[in-house]
Amino acid sequence: MRRFNGKVAFITGAASGIGRAAAVAFAREGARVAITDRSEAPLQRLRGEIEAGGGEVLAVCCDVSVPEDVDVAVARTVERFGRLDCAFNNAGVENKAAPVHEIALDEWDRILDINLRGTFVCMKHEIAQMLRQGGGVVVNTSSGAGIRGVAGGASYAASKHALIGLTKSAALDYAKANIRVNAVLPGNIETPMMDRFTGGDIQKAIDLEPVGRLGKPEEIAEAVLWMCSDLGAFVTGASISVDGGWSL
């Protein structure tokens, strides 16, 4: 029995990295998946891959920093599949490294608009649908940077700290409505974002990991699926680190 037969999963930032791995995993476990990203070409390639594996998938180009895009993406998901059981709010961006006094206001706003405000807007629409149907699960991608400082990364760390507060507050708001809200906190993971962040020098990131390697997107995806599954039914408001000990 596949864990998500009859369920619908909605994933943002699905075109690459952790989001892509989660979309593939949800589909493999029987979910019908709505995949969203602002990068159209890799999103369509993922759609083709899921369909080739026998999965049912809807691909919607969506920039989470544009509220109208989010509204349309969630509405199309419900129109196509009739419900929304699991929402994985994974879309996010890294900052340009700079100490606090050198961060440009437009750069600060860019990071917060996507990482925090974008997730908040997604949650508004996702949770409204979950209330209509009687329940659901939301998982937000925070980061190990959400529970520690990052030199040169104040805007990114601030956005990820704030996501944990948003997650905990929403968990309390909807605990009696059969809606669970949790956060996953990845460490240094083999993703395009990590390539950009390190300038291609991946060894920099490996050296930060107590376990001596980078994490794999599939390892984060498995944690997300567990939080969304029946085995995670007593877990809400949690911030679960999957980071090889980086945040210790």
What is the Cα–Cα distance from 1 to 51, expressed in whole angstroms?
Answer: 20
Give residue 199's pLDDT.
72
Of the chain, the percentage scoring pLDDT greater than 90 comes to 87
- Calculate mean pLDDT across residues 240-248: 93
100 Cβ contact partners less than 8 Å away, ≥ 6 residues apart: 154
**133-155: string of b/e by CB count within 10 Å (b at 16+)?**
eeebbbbbbbbbbbbeebeebbb
Task: Characterize the bridge pairing of strands 8-11 and 239-242.
Answer: unpaired
The chain-wide mean pLDDT, for the chain, equals 96
Give residue 198's pLDDT.
64
Active-site residue (options: 26, 81, 88, 156): 156
How close are the terminal C-alpha atoms of the chain, in Å? 37
> Two tokens at 231?
């085995």
Is 174 catalytic? The answer is: no
Are 115 and 163 within 8 A, CB to CB? yes
What is the Cα–Cα distance from 29 to 231, expressed in whole angstroms?
Answer: 14
47-82: per-residue pLDDT in tens? Answer: 999 999 999 999 999 999 999 999 999 999 999 999
Give residue 209's pLDDT.
83
185-215: per-residue pLDDT in tens? Answer: 999 888 777 777 667 777 877 887 888 899 9
Are 65 and 113 within 8 A, CB to CB? yes
According to DSSP, residue 66 is labeled S
Write phi, then psi, for 34 (nearest 5 degrees): -105, 120
> Two tokens at 13?
């930032």
What is the Cα–Cα distance from 203 to 135, expressed in whole angstroms?
Answer: 43
- Residue 248: is its pLDDT beyond 90? no
- Calculate mean pLDDT across residues 5-13: 98
Question: In 142-239, which residue ranges form alpha helices assigned H by DSSP?
Answer: 154-174, 192-198, 202-206, 217-228
According to DSSP, residue 117 is labeled I
Give residue 197's pLDDT.
67
- Domains of the chain (ranges; CATH) run 8-188+219-229 (3.40.50.720)
> Two tokens at 29?
């476990």
82 Cβ contact partners less than 8 Å away, ≥ 6 residues apart: 8
- The answer to which of 18-27, 84-93, 132-141, 208-217 has the lowest mean pLDDT is 208-217
